[in-house]
Structures are given as structure tokens and as C-alpha cells.
Amino acid sequence: MSRPRRLTARMRLTLSYTLFTVTTGVLCLAVVYVGMKYVPNYPLTSANPRYRSDAPSRQEILESLLAASGYALALLTAVGMAGGWLVAGRVLRPLQEVTAAARRASGGDLGHRIALAGPRDEFTDLADAFDEMLARLERSFDAQQRFAANASHELRTPLAINRTMLQVAAADPAGQDWPRLVGRLLDTNQRGIEVTEALLQLAELSHRTPESAPLELSRAVREALAAVSAEADERGVVVTRDLASAPTVGNEVLLRQAAVNLLQNAVRHNLPSGGRVELATGPDPQRPGRVRLTVRNSGAVLEDSLVGTLTEPFLRGGGRTAQRDRARRGHGLGLAIVAAVAQAHGGELRLAGRPGGGLEAVLSLPGTGGSGAAGAAR
């Protein structure tokens, strides 16, 4: 949309400064003129009558005052214009840096920062806010690009595997074990379906607020534990629980799925033998008025840099390569979905590596302030 051309901000500020300066000068001169005009018009004579006085009359003084005032105002206007132009340019210089940064950002350069120096004022606050916005946009765009690339890879892999198997079968139909081939095709196809459903769930969480109702978090966690207990027993992971009352408001289906994802992550990324998982619910001591679900598991020592990226989609505990065991492998979307569920409920997911190895995951949610429908459960 085209906009009408106006004077620049610098010119408008210059004219404002000049108008203020000239107006102030006119008022001062008007006061002097009025004071001179109403001074009593006594004749100015010499003390000695024999001497003639050459002193000017009041009218002559007023006329000289008006002439000098005109020159003074003209000089004041010129000085005001020049000074106003310089002052306005100096004041507006930070805005020029913000404008330049905005133009670079619109061209795709989100790595540039203004980093405006000087004492804190409106301009430094604006520059800092703009730098923060650029940083968030850069992180968001980078995450979107990685997500798109990883999603394409995850969806392309099962399709490529299916195509390879079908090509091999077509080249040698008589030498194929058809029941085994059909089973492998079904397995690979199911993997693609699971990835697609997880992506749809992530997209839905980011664009729609889930329906919420008062619920007891510990009950949803017990149901999630029942769904994961068989896998934990198969891997020899011992799960200990301390499920105290944790009343909250949310979507029970989504919170149960978040608990399932946390438990599956703790069971699958554990020690090869003798693994342990600690499960607890109750008030959040770090955030009064909130409740939390805590899942701790044993395992390898995790670097802080790796822990900070675990909620990134398609990033698995062992990298981006899925395990061969279909029952134990994941798609790298579990913790990403938990983080999205937490955000949709006004909560947060906190991850931290344990000094002795393993991970601590804390899902913190707003509490209801009540005692909850269910009492403490052990």
C-alpha cells in the first residue's frame, strides 16, 4: 500500500525546535516592548537648562528596539534551524540503526544485531527488544528448517525401504519369501503411519487449545505406567513410584500421553541391565501453586548441550538413527510432544542430566489449589 509523501521525522523535529525557539524569542521581545511602551514618557532633559539634551525620545527607542528585534529574530531562526537539524540528527541516529537492521532482517539476514551502546533510554530499550525479537525469529526459523528437513527424512525412509523391497521382489518373484516380505512391508508402512500421526499431533497442539477439565494427575500417571509396565519388565527396568495427589486442570488424554512418552523415554534410554526409573507426582516445590510429574532414570551421562536439544523433533537419545528393535525404537518425537502438551496447558518441561548418569524430566503444570479427587497413592 502506497503512502503519501511527508516531511522526514528529522525535518519535522527541526521545524518544531525552530518554532519553539522563535516563539520563545518573540515572547521575550514582546514583554520588553510592552514594558518600554508603558514607561511614563517623561522628557529627558539635562540638569543644567543651558545645555540642550540630545537624548532620544521613547518613540525613537521603541523604533530602534523593533529594528534590533527583527534582526535578532532572523538570527535566532537561522541558529534554531541549524541547531535543530543537528540535534534531531543526533537524537534520531539510533532509529537509523534500527531501520537498517530491520531491512537486513527483511532480506533474510536474521543473524545481525544492533547492540546499541550507551545509557538506557527509549532507544536502547527499542534496540534491545528488536535484538531479542531477531534472536527468537532466528531460533524459530532454524527450528522450522530442521523440522522440515528431519520430517522429510523420516517420512522418506520407510517409503524408500518399501520401494527397495518391492523392486527386489519384482526382479525375482519366484525367489521371494512372500509372507516375510508382506510382514516387513506392513512393519515399514506402520512406521510411516506412526510418524505421520505424531506430526499431526504436534501440529494440532501448536494451533489449537485442547479442551480442559479438573483432573488428578496421579491417576493419569498410573494409567500411563500400566501401559508401559510390560516394556519395562521386558527390559528388566525396575520402576519405583511415589504418586502423591496432584490436582490440575487439563486434557486427560493429552496428559496421559505425555506421561506415557516420558516413561517410554526413561525405559528405552536406560542401562542395558539393572536399569531403574523413579516416578513421582505432587506439588512443585520450585513453583508454588503448581503440581509436577517427575521421571528419573538411570543411564549414560548426558552432556548439557545434548540435554538442551532433546525436545527437538526427531532427536533420539542415541542420535537420529532409530533402533532396529521395533518394540523399543522411537521416532524422536516423544519429548517434543511432551513439551508441546506442557505449553498447551500453560506448563513447562524441564530436563536435566543426572550426575550419576541418566535424565531427570519434570513436567510442571498449574495446580487447582484443591486437594484433588484422588488421595495420595503409593
Q: Where are the domains of the chain?
A: 9-42+53-107, 143-207, 213-366
Q: How confident is the model at residue 271 (pLDDT cuts 50, 70, 90)?
A: very high
Confidence of residue 366 (pLDDT cuts 50, 70, 90): very high
Q: 89 is written with which cell numbers?
A: 540528527
Give the per-residue pLDDT at 336.
82
The distance in angstroms from the start CA to the end CA of the chain is 65
The pLDDT, as a whole number, for residue 335 is: 87
**Cα distances (angstroms) measured from residue 77 to each of 18, 30, 83, 328, 337:** 6, 16, 10, 82, 67
Instruction: Among 100-109, 138-147, 242-251, name the most confident range.
Output: 242-251
What band does 83 get if pLDDT is binned at 50, 70 and 90? Answer: confident
In 299-358, which residue ranges form alpha helices assigned H by DSSP? Answer: 304-307, 334-344
pLDDT of amino acid 65: 73
Per CATH, which fold does 213-366 belong to? Heat Shock Protein 90 (3.30.565)
Higher pLDDT pick, 170 / 322: 170
Note whether 205 and 212 are within 8 A (CB).
no
Distance CA 90, CA 94 (A): 8
Q: Say how far apart CA 366 and CA 345 lie, in whole Å.
A: 8
18, 24, 31, 72 from 27: Cα distances, Å: 14, 5, 6, 13
Burial 230-258 (b: 16+ CB within 10 A, else e): eebeebebebeeebbbbbbebbbebbbbb
Asked whether 237 and 269 are in contact (CB, 8 A), the reply is no
Q: Which of 182, 24, 21, 14 is nearest to 87 (CA)?
A: 14
Integer Cα distance of 255 and 303 in angstroms: 28
| pLDDT of residue 373 exceeding 60 | no
- Torsion angle (degrees, nearest 10) of CA 261, 262, 267, 271: 140
Assign domain 143-207 to its CATH architecture: Orthogonal Bundle (1.10)
- Of the candidate ranges 73-82, 192-201, 244-253, the one whose mean pLDDT is the lowest: 192-201
CA–CA gap between residue 95 and residue 10 (Å, rounded): 11
Task: Answer whether 357's CB lies under 8 Å from 346's CB.
Answer: no
Q: What amino acid is encoded at 179 in this protein?
A: P
Give pLDDT, residue 9. 67
- pLDDT of 354: 92
- What pLDDT is recorded for position 376? 37
Q: What's the confidence (pLDDT) of residue 370? A: 43
Residue 295: what pLDDT? 96
Spatial contact of 36 and 58, defined as CB atoms under 8 Å apart: yes
Query: For position 45, what pLDDT does the model report?
Result: 57
- Largest Cα separation within the chain, whole Å, is 148
Q: 69 has which bridge partners? A: none
Inform me whether the pLDDT recorded for 171 exceeds 90.
no
| Selection from 62, 65, 46 nearest residue 54 by Cα | 46
Nearest-angstrom CA–CA distance, 94 and 262: 48
Q: Is 108 left (phi over 0), alpha (psi -120 to 50) or beta?
A: left
Cβ(336)–Cβ(265) below 8 Å:
no
**Most confident range, picked from 5-19, 162-176, 311-325:** 162-176
Question: Angle at CA 369, nearest 5°, toward 364 and 370?
Answer: 115
Q: Is the pLDDT of residue 375 over 90?
A: no
User: 72 is written with which cell numbers?
Assistant: 535578532
Mean pLDDT of the chain: 79
Q: Report which of residues 46 and 269 the model is more confident about.
A: 269
pLDDT per residue as tens digits for the range 298-356: 999 988 888 888 887 666 554 434 444 444 445 567 788 888 889 888 899 999 999 98
Residue 259's pLDDT is 92
CA 136, distance to chain mean position in Å, is: 5
CA–chain centroid gap for 126, Å, is 16
Q: How confident is the model at residue 154 (pLDDT cuts 50, 70, 90)?
A: low
For residue 374, pLDDT over 50 is answered with: no
Inter-axis angle of helices 9-37 and 58-106, nearest 10: 170
- Asked whether the predicted pLDDT for residue 282 surpasses 90, the reply is yes
pLDDT at 190 over 70: yes
pLDDT for 203-258, tens place per residue? 676 667 778 899 999 999 999 999 889 889 999 999 999 999 999 998 888 898 88
Asked whether the beta carbons of 191 and 158 are under 8 A apart, the reply is yes
Confidence of residue 164 (pLDDT cuts 50, 70, 90): confident
Give 72's pLDDT tier (boundaries 50, 70, 90).
confident
The helix/strand/coil state of 8 is: coil
pLDDT of residue 227: 87
